[in-house]
Structure 1
Amino acid sequence: MNKDQRIIELDKIKSSKQPYKYDDIIYRGEKKLMPVYEINLDYLVYNKYNGRILSMVKSFERQFRNLNPEILTDKKVIEDFLWDSKPDRNRTTMTDLRDYGQKRVGIVTRDGIIIDGNRRSSLINRIANEDNRYPAYFKAIILDDTLDDSPQEIMRLETSYQMGEDEKLDYNPIEKYLKCKDLIEVGFSPGNIAEMMGEKEPRVNEWLSIMKLMDNYLNDLGYEGIYTRLDKREGQFVDLDKYLKKYDSGTAMVDWAYAKSDISDLKAICFDYIRAQYEGKEFRAIATPSKKESFFCKEKVWNKFKEEHFKNIDPINEKEFTVDELREKEPEGDLSEILKVRDADWTNATRGLLKGNLNKSQRLLDDVNEENSPMVLLRRAKDTLSSVNTELEAFYRDENVLTIIKEINKISWDFQQVIKKKNK
């Protein structure tokens, strides 16, 4: 059913049917009591850009084609996205719908685009397809405007209902960043967006900054617009955005005069660790603005860490197939899945090197922090040497082992001479 046909059917409902009930809605800055109608699902279409599945839809459209909710195949794609966004929650809601019916009403435009209630209507449709005794109707307020009549006002209403309530906590993390980006691009200010989402303006500015960093990450990898590749990486971007802002503005935590190029190196290295899905304390150790906890804040540690990283990882990156090359090999494949495999292969090739460099740099950082406490360092060195297994073949067959032992002996001898000289 096309737009004109939907308008005719919804106008008929408003003019000839008794409302199911009345409900309050805030529209065009006013609180209004509006009628709720039972609407045949055939007269409605999904809003493909609703906040719940924005990352999935944009990723799909970047790879394949623009989705048209009026076409049955595309409608099915959108319904699958709505289901996959929260399968467990959807199963629970379906049980509730079967037992008690639709309790929360939706909102649709005059031309039948679902502004609030895409997930619920998709579940009602799913139940009706499984059981023809279940009524295929959606209870909703019908606005007087089509989406084309008043796009910004309807976007404002949609955002307020989808992202301005407690239900937004159930959305995938990336969706709120994308929604902010989309709203800015159509002319809303950060203050407008904050009001719609029930947030403070600084928080919205923070989300926009994080989204810019996420886009930067995707573009660097050749994944522009494939937002599903950000899954399970939100926390690292939140942290990195804070770190970069600190270093851009200057911080007393750093013991050296770094340049803009050093911050660029830091971001590039952090992107590699984000790609490998490092998080928590290990990720923070690279860049958190702290005199004692950060590689970047200690010049000696950072230079060794950076040099080792690029020496190990650059050759692997140079051998990696580009996105275009992978696309040529699998022209019909799902690019999201192809990139998922690409990231997994890259992570398998680099994980040991990334982990080893982290561990080595953490030990160096500990040593630098304790360099004014010789007893701490000497005990640590003694304990490390005591843990060496001299029965292993690698100990007595490797020529480099003897070289290292001689160097240790020389260092010990030099230490003894210093102590004798100072105590004379």
Structure 2
Amino acid sequence: MDLLTKGIEIKAVIPNNTDKKLVIDNISQNYPVYKIRLDQLYYNDQNDRIATWISQYKIDNNINHFDLSDIENYNNIIHDFITSSNPQALKNTQNNIKLIGQQETGVVLSDGRIIDGNRRFTCLRNIEKETGKTQYFEAIILDHSIENNAKQIKMLELMLQHGVDEKIGYNPIDRLVGIYNDIIETKLLTVEEYANSVNQTPAEIKVEIEKANLLVDFLDFINSPKHFYLARTMNITESLKDLHVMLKKVKDDDKREDLKNIVFAELLMQPVGDMNRYIRKIKKIVDSNKFFNNFIDEQTVIVEKVCDELEKFPKVTNKEIAKIRTNEEIKRDFKHSTEIFINKVDSDTTRSQPVKQVEKAYDSLDLIDTNIFKKISTEQKDDIQEKLDMINEIVSNIRRELNV
């Protein structure tokens, strides 16, 4: 049904006698705001904020598209995704709407698809169910269809959801999935178009694309291609970020691929509880020219054992991951090997620390311009002399220890 014609005619859509400024295609314009009865609206399944939940549902139910013939059932499905993605944020928003009403105007298409305001719509559905009173969603209605204006609508959605009015951030994995879908998979948007829509630079988005590709590579490695929800449940966002930084430091292509597979295998096996902190420690080894190659050689042997385990499961889900992680031998091997190399790096750093500190002290003293002594006061000279005496005493102590 067209909300701007039939909706108004049956009084399911009521003019609110207010308007809101919106920028579409770089044109700023005031649009009228309407109060829309909830049963005339439906969620946007292309919302990047719940990308992993959508992906999981389609995989679990072996579908490519949602059936929109039963809007109520469809809305109930997406409603659960919105709720599960950030329960506390939803609760806070719902309490706020109960107290002072809907403050932020949403944006919908003329067929009822919500482009901005899915969370507010969810809160209003909850309130309507709790109170039994008909609720209305306040929104601008755009006379567009997603079939004919997909790029324009996606850019508008990104702009609105990343704008100053949006208080709740994306789950980082959902953000990467959205970038992968919009720029790499469907090529709906260019890097520049995406960057402009979210008020970031193309360079920043290119970094996010690299992380998104790492995410895809990880899922391929564990025999779960594009099962993005697994990355969300495994909480690997920070580890992927650290891996991205590590890979930038490795110049050899083969070593870079080996390092990537090592981190992927460790994330799959989860040898310790806090994997983000564990992976972060591996950065020390990568920074060490002295131990990095031996670390790669030793860990690659363990990665081969993980690959043998993965061969038992052509398709991997959370259930298979739990089974693979019961292999305590591989987990012990990973943890033992990593801890040994981290200790080696730490010990080497401790031994080399005095040399670095002496070099730093020398450089600091060498930078002093002695000509300035002619221009400073007697009091300042006395102060310098006192500090030099203290330095001489420290140097004498160091010399004595070196000769022991």
TM-score by length of 1: 0.73
- 1:306 equivalent to 2:296? Answer yes
User: Aligned in 2, Cα 1:247/1:78: closer, same or farther, shift over 3 Å?
Assistant: same
- Deviations along 1:282-329, one digit per CA (max 9) or x if unpaired, are 42343x3xxxx3257435x33443343244453354245644467xxx
Give the 5 Å matches for 1:287-298: 288=283, 293-295=284-286, 297-298=288-289
> Residue 141 of structure 2 aligns with which residue?
142
- Deviations along 1:332-383, one digit per CA (max 9) or x if unpaired, are xxx4x4255346545x55332222111211233345557889xxxxxxxxxx
Determine the C-alpha separation between the residues in 2 that align with 1:201 and 1:68: 36
Which secondary structure state, in structure 1, belongs to the residue aligned with residue 94 of structure 2?
helix
User: Aligned in 2, Cα 1:313/1:294: closer, same or farther, shift over 3 Å?
Assistant: closer
Determine the C-alpha separation between the residues in 1 that align with 2:180 and 2:315: 30
Give the 5 Å matches for 1:7-406: 9-10=6-7, 12=9, 17-64=14-61, 65=63, 66-71=65-70, 72-133=72-133, 135-165=134-164, 167=166, 169-184=168-183, 185-231=186-232, 232-248=235-251, 259-275=252-268, 276=270, 279=275, 282-286=278-282, 288=283, 293-295=284-286, 297-298=288-289, 301-320=291-310, 322-324=312-314, 335=317, 337-339=318-320, 341-342=322-323, 344-345=325-326, 350-366=330-346
> Quick one: which amino acid aligns to residue 86 of structure 1?
N
Q: Contact 1:59–1:225 (CA<8 Å) still a contact in 2?
A: no
Q: Contact 1:68–1:75 (CA<8 Å) still a contact in 2?
A: no
Q: Contact 1:285–1:295 (CA<8 Å) still a contact in 2?
A: no
- Deviation at residue 139 of structure 1 after TM alignment: 0.9
- Deviation at residue 247 of structure 1 after TM alignment: 1.9
Q: Contact 1:9–1:43 (CA<8 Å) still a contact in 2?
A: no
User: Aligned in 2, Cα 1:198/1:18: closer, same or farther, shift over 3 Å?
Assistant: same
Determine the C-alpha separation between the residues in 1 that align with 2:195 and 2:158: 10
Determine the C-alpha separation between the residues in 2 that align with 1:11 and 1:245: 57
Determine the C-alpha separation between the residues in 2 that align with 1:371 and 1:206: 36
User: Aligned in 2, Cα 1:123/1:16: closer, same or farther, shift over 3 Å?
Assistant: closer
Which secondary structure state, in structure 1, belongs to the residue aligned with residue 200 of structure 2?
coil
Determine the C-alpha separation between the residues in 2 that align with 1:369 and 1:280: 22
Determine the C-alpha separation between the residues in 2 that align with 1:206 and 1:319: 32
Which secondary structure state, in structure 2, belongs to the residue aligned with residue 167 of structure 1?
coil
- Deviation at residue 91 of structure 1 after TM alignment: 1.2
- Deviation at residue 281 of structure 1 after TM alignment: 5.4
- Deviation at residue 56 of structure 1 after TM alignment: 1.1
Aligned length: 344
> Residue 420 of structure 1 aligns with which residue?
none
Which secondary structure state, in structure 2, belongs to the residue aligned with residue 318 of structure 1?
helix
> Quick one: which amino acid aligns to residue 314 of structure 1?
E
- Deviations along 1:156-180, one digit per CA (max 9) or x if unpaired, are 1111001344636522111222222
User: Aligned in 2, Cα 1:304/1:245: closer, same or farther, shift over 3 Å?
Assistant: closer
> Quick one: which amino acid aligns to residue 36 of structure 2?
I
Q: Contact 1:40–1:136 (CA<8 Å) still a contact in 2?
A: yes
Determine the C-alpha separation between the residues in 2 that align with 1:203 and 1:343: 36
> Quick one: which amino acid aligns to residue 85 of structure 1?
S
RMSD: 2.9
Determine the C-alpha separation between the residues in 2 that align with 1:101 and 1:370: 60
Where structure 1 has 5 or more consecutive residues not aligned to the other structure, the ranges are 249-258, 327-334, 374-424
Q: Contact 2:246–2:286 (CA<8 Å) still a contact in 1?
A: no
> Quick one: which amino acid aligns to residue 280 of structure 2?
R
Determine the C-alpha separation between the residues in 2 that align with 1:114 and 1:67: 15
Determine the C-alpha separation between the residues in 2 that align with 1:343 and 1:32: 56
User: Aligned in 2, Cα 1:155/1:325: closer, same or farther, shift over 3 Å?
Assistant: closer
> Quick one: which amino acid aligns to residue 242 of structure 1?
V
User: Aligned in 2, Cα 1:366/1:155: closer, same or farther, shift over 3 Å?
Assistant: closer
User: Aligned in 2, Cα 1:339/1:158: closer, same or farther, shift over 3 Å?
Assistant: farther
Moved more, 93-102 or 10-19: 10-19
TM-score by length of 2: 0.76
Moved more, 355-364 or 193-202: 355-364
Q: Contact 1:62–1:225 (CA<8 Å) still a contact in 2?
A: no
Moved more, 311-320 or 358-367: 311-320
Determine the C-alpha separation between the residues in 1 that align with 2:237 and 2:329: 23
> Quick one: which amino acid aligns to residue 344 of structure 2?
L
Identity %: 22
- Deviations along 1:239-274, one digit per CA (max 9) or x if unpaired, are 2112213324xxxxxxxxxx4222211111011223
> Quick one: which amino acid aligns to residue 207 of structure 1?
E
Determine the C-alpha separation between the residues in 2 that align with 1:166 and 1:224: 35
> Quick one: which amino acid aligns to residue 239 of structure 2?
Q
Where structure 2 has 5 or more consecutive residues not aligned to the other structure, the ranges are 354-404
Q: Contact 1:6–1:44 (CA<8 Å) still a contact in 2?
A: no
Which secondary structure state, in structure 1, belongs to the residue aligned with residue 112 of structure 2?
coil
- Deviations along 1:355-412, one digit per CA (max 9) or x if unpaired, are 2111211233345557889xxxxxxxxxxxxxxxxxxxxxxxxxxxxxxxxxxxxxxx
User: Aligned in 2, Cα 1:161/1:343: closer, same or farther, shift over 3 Å?
Assistant: farther
